[in-house]
Amino acid sequence: FITSQETARHEGLPARVPTGKGPYADRFGGRLVLVTGAASGIGRATAFAFAEAGARIVAVDRDAEGAVRTAELARLTGARDAWAECCDVSDEQAMEKLAAKVAAEYGVVDVLVNNAGIGFSGSFMDTSTDDWRKVLDVNLWGVIHGCRTFGRQMAERGQGGHIVNTASAAAFQPTKALAAYATSKAGVLMLSECLRAELAGQGIGVSAICPGIVNTAITTSAGFAGVPEEEQRRLQEKTARLYGKRNYPPEKVAEAILRAVAEDRAVVPVAPEAHGMRFISRFAPRL
Ligand code: NAD
């Protein structure tokens, strides 16, 4: 028997998040937590964080193999149970099918983390219609589909719940190098605000998390690889000014998501230990 941490180290995967040992140990005992984009980066770390807190995990990703691996590791990390589902979040029908399947086989989701996303670099003028569609389809429509399908089930059940949407600091940091990406994330932020107001009376919390630059595949591979170096440096410096840190590991984002949900707060104010996470645009700085 090897621990997930050893497995993770062996495979070069992110190590598990230590938060489950703290105040949230078993806080989510048996709760059903669904994370999209769970095969990698922030999504995988978030699945591990909730697993450590005793949740049941549904790891969703279009990368089937990666999602299965996350589910396996989540079980080793302490999840009561964990399953993998292959789904493209931008496909409305597939998401509806998934929601029906999850409800029938595992139950209604208590915590939904709409995290799947793609990076894309390019100025407004240089971005083709197809690329605009691709980015908005995944980053914005993917979140809309998630909130609509799983959020509706939560509301109908009438026992509350939490939705956390992964936006980005790009949502309020204008940059000519990330026009489509930043626009999609600004949409996620406002969607979260509107939905929070709409669902507040039903005991469902809605948060948007706006990480700065996180060390994941999206920043190191195709995603932002096209952003000129000078612009990357400028963004990093902006992030560092705002958050006091240049890049931080996905586990820190996962920890912030877990804390927001565990403490039952839709809005988490900036705290030094949050390593630059800001929730909800109302607290966003003007640059
Ligand atoms: P990542 O590339 O490591 O993970 C993204 C995951 O989403 C991958 O597993 C990918 O297969 C999956 N995915 C992509 N499109 C999908 C689709 N259509 N359907 C289902 N799954 C899909 O990157 P990450 O940094 O962990 O990104 C997670 C989220 O965090 C994204 O929404 C991203 O925009 C956001 N974010 C990242 C950063 C950063 O600096 N890394 C900063 C702010 C926000």
Ligand 1 atom at minimal distance to the Cα of residue 88: 19
Q: Is 181 a catalytic residue?
A: yes
Ranked by mean pLDDT, which of 129-138, 152-161, 262-271, 275-284 comes out on top? 129-138
List 24, 106, 181, 243, catalytic entry: 181
Closest Cα to atom 6 of ligand 1: 37
Q: How confident is the model at residue 11 (pLDDT cuts 50, 70, 90)?
A: low
- Higher pLDDT pick, 18 / 285: 18
- Look over the chain and give the mean of its residue pLDDT values, rounded to a whole number: 80
* pLDDT score of 285: 29
- Higher pLDDT pick, 247 / 109: 109
Burial 250-262 (b: 16+ CB within 10 A, else e): bbbbbbbbbbbbb
Say which range, 12-16, 57-61, 177-181, 229-233, has the weakest mean pLDDT: 12-16
Share of the chain above pLDDT 90, in %: 49
* pLDDT score of 122: 87
Closest Cα to atom 12 of ligand 1: 37
Ligand 1 atom at minimal distance to the Cα of residue 67: 9
From 164, 216, 242, mutation site for ligand 1 pocket: most ligand atoms within 8 A of C-beta: 216
Within 6 A (CB) of ligand 1 lie 36-37, 39-43, 61-63, 66, 88-90, 115-118, 138, 142, 166, 168, 211, 213-214, 216-219, 250
Condensed to tens digits (0 to 9), the pLDDT of residues 186-220 reads 999 889 988 988 988 888 888 888 887 787 877 76
Q: Tell me the CA–centroid distance for residue 115 and ligand 1, in Å.
A: 6
Q: Tell me the CA–centroid distance for residue 158 and ligand 1, in Å.
A: 30
pTM for the whole structure: 0.86
Q: Does position 157 have pLDDT exceeding 90, yes or no? A: yes
* pLDDT score of 130: 97
Q: Contact at 8 Å (CB) between 152 and 102?
A: no
Condensed to tens digits (0 to 9), the pLDDT of residues 13-39 reads 444 444 445 567 667 888 999 999 999
Ligand 1 atom at minimal distance to the Cα of residue 117: 32
Q: Tell me the CA–centroid distance for residue 3 and ligand 1, in Å.
A: 26
* pLDDT score of 89: 98
From 42, 144, 232, mutation site for ligand 1 pocket: most ligand atoms within 8 A of C-beta: 42
**What does the pLDDT average to over 48-75?**
95
